[in-house]
Amino acid sequence: MLVVLDTNVIYAALRSRQGASFALLRRVAEGDFQMALSVALCLEYEDVAFREPPPLPRQAINDILDQLVAVSVRPRMAFLWRPQLRDPKDDMVLELAINANCPYIVTFNIRDFKGSEAFGIQATTPAQFLALLGGQP
């Protein structure tokens, strides 16, 4: 299964080894599901992760982001679908999900992705997606 992980999920996983967000990073590294990633979203992950104060040492963050890039699927961004949502950064996430044909966007901000259903994409929380995979935080 191919999904897009919103930036807030990555940031939550970097801040704590507890919870569904960290469990999902572990599961993607183990190959239990695949994540789609674009250059723009990867740069946003990096921007948020390094805001002051960063949740981990810089090298640890770089290592985690490098691992995510290594295991991610990077689809060809053939179509631009903006604007669809209120926030341009959320549009970037939705656009990636559309181009990668992902059934899910994993986010803490479900209501920000209202309208993604029109593209066959369901916004779900990390805990809900982890349950879908058959796991717990």
The number of folded domains in the chain is 1
CATH number at residue 6: 3.40.50.1010
Residue 97, both tokens: 């999900």
**Can you give the pTM of this predicted structure?**
0.92
Residue 73, both tokens: 């699927």
Range of the domain at 92: 2-133
pLDDT tens digits, one per residue of 64-103: 999 999 999 999 887 676 666 666 678 999 999 999 999 9
